[in-house]
A and B are shown apart, each in its own frame.
Chain A
């Protein structure tokens, strides 16, 4: 899957279509987004007064840009497929859950399980993300400018989690093949998660992720890489007595 560039110079040939959630219902917004067809001219959307609403812009499957002016509740941008969603505020639990492609940028903080089970695309949290960030991630790239909470990347399967700040307890518990890059301190590593050597291909990969997330002034060499020790992959007969 080609990397999605965050286009800062998105050209707006048409005026944004504005949905004010003080006036329109969330269902009207999401139905209008779901009604979009390939090649639609309505490529720029703006959502006003989200006030912590759940499920803002879930299931969008067209390459439109959506600017959400305020903080959102659960599952914003869930299942996103190809759209670029910017939350100009903070996001509640499960932002970008099961994202397939596209990108979501949260200007503030994100609550629990940001990017959970995401299969693709890029999730950028410009503030902090709380617990379980990237839990069960399956190919999504997540870049957090701040810190992440405990049990992040639990059972992470593939994709990349980049953290410019610190990570809480039990990072990468029972991790499969995802790559974790942390610049700050890690409170503790979870079962089967270990620090790994940063090879040239990882530095290159990380530089690409930082570029895509619009991070400047931070070098890939400042990060440590963590990943799976792969000791939980197969049942160990010596552990049979434990069951």
Chain B
């Protein structure tokens, strides 16, 4: 099981509703996975700021005074917006890698959920409804986003084992399925210098795509590579700063439905996830073909 959703807006007028639409889609698939849920939202870019989404099991302790301590450590202005167990740290784009390292040094218990110019990632153990309420996702505005509700198979039910997984700036991935060669691929990627936070198979898929794109491939080419280099069952939905992609393994036993109108491209593990989207009755609705890459870019 597991339920995955994705929404890529073409019509700017829908952007204020992105969080609400994506939340609705994810909640409708709650019974596909009760263990944990997560969502990544791609918001409006800002020239002066990049973002790091962080998480702590003890937010009151870890987030207190982090902005001033971090600003001092990196010598740049820092702001922090706390949302329950997560917080979004904003600073100058040039300082983002430095900030990431400084956060880990200042607060070793903090986990980095993801970083980039536009992405924010929220994930926790629990049902989708509880997770989207906890982080006020419905009020979030953005251009595209992906979400996941998990029925765990390959690693423990923890915040870090929840999807989306992010392994590169503004890149993230959700997965329905299970990979069988992830240990091998992980070893190869570690040799290349990629860093891993978990034993999870999906994190390997995310890192694989990040590595491919770091080598100059575009999203479509990187997704194409999963078909030969990753073994196992997968339907992946992937977000990048300005793109959105979908690929299914050649056997394609993990379900997938897509819908496209002039206003959006939407993905759901099941049609149920799409029923409340505007104009769905007249949308082009189809099942993505096995071993076929689909992607859209703004």
Contact = CB atoms under 8 A, between A and B. Distances in A.
Interface string B262-298: 0000000011111100000000011100100000000
B81 interface: no
Contacts of A131: 252-253, 290
A53 B272 contact: yes
A112 interface: yes
Contacts of A51: 272, 275
A93 B269 CA distance: 11
Contact of A52 (B252, B272, B286): B272
B239 interface: no
A92 B285 contact: no
In which size bucket is the chain A interface? 10 to 19
Contact of B290 (A73, A111, A150): A150
A52 B271 contact: yes
B255 interface: yes
Nearest to B274: A52
A97 interface: no
B290 A90 contact: no
> Do most interface residues of chain A lie in helix, strand or loop, or is the interface mixed?
loop
Nearest to B288: A130
Contact of B270 (A73, A130, A149, A150): A73
B252 A71 contact: no
A93 B252 contact: no
B255 A90 contact: no
Contacts, number: 39
A126 interface: no
A149 B248 CA distance: 14
Nearest to B286: A109
B271 A92 contact: yes
B259 to A, nearest CB: 11
A73 B287 contact: no
Contacts of A74: 270
Nearest to B250: A150
A109 B271 CA distance: 12
Interface in A74-89: 74
Interface in A114-160: 130-131, 149-151
Contacts of A111: 255, 257, 287
Given A131-B290, A150-B290, A90 B271 contact: yes
A71 B271 CA distance: 8
A73 B252 contact: no
Contacts of B271: 52, 71, 73, 90, 92
B275 A92 contact: no
Contacts of A90: 271, 285
Contacts of A93: 255
Quick one: which of B252, B272, B274, B285 has the most chain A CB within 10 A? B272
B235 to A, nearest CB: 12
Contacts of B290: 131, 149-150
A185 B253 CA distance: 23
Given A90-B285, A109-B287, A73 B253 contact: no
B120 to A, nearest CB: 29
Interface string A43-67: 0000000011100000000000000
A242 B290 CA distance: 30
A166 B120 CA distance: 44
A212 to B, nearest CB: 27
B270 A52 contact: yes
A74 B290 CA distance: 19
Contact of A112 (B255, B275, B286): B255
Nearest to A51: B275
A79 to B, nearest CB: 21
Nearest to A110: B287
Contacts of B255: 92-93, 111-112
Contacts of B285: 71, 90
Nearest to B272: A52
Nearest to A72: B271
A3 B118 CA distance: 61
A74 B29 CA distance: 13
Given A130-B287, A150-B290, A92 B253 contact: no
Contacts of B274: 52
Interface string B231-272: 000000000000000000001110101000000000000111
A151 B274 CA distance: 27
A109 B284 CA distance: 12
Given A53-B272, A92-B270, 6 more contacts: A51-B272, A52-B273, A90-B271, A92-B255, A111-B257, A112-B252
15 contacts: A52-B270, A52-B272, A52-B273, A52-B274, A52-B275, A71-B285, A90-B271, A90-B285, A92-B270, A111-B287, A112-B252, A112-B253, A131-B290, A149-B290, A150-B252
Interface of B: 251-253, 255, 257, 270-275, 285-287, 290
**Leading 8 A-B pairs by shortest Cβ distance:** A52-B272, A52-B271, A51-B275, A130-B287, A71-B271, A73-B270, A52-B275, A73-B272
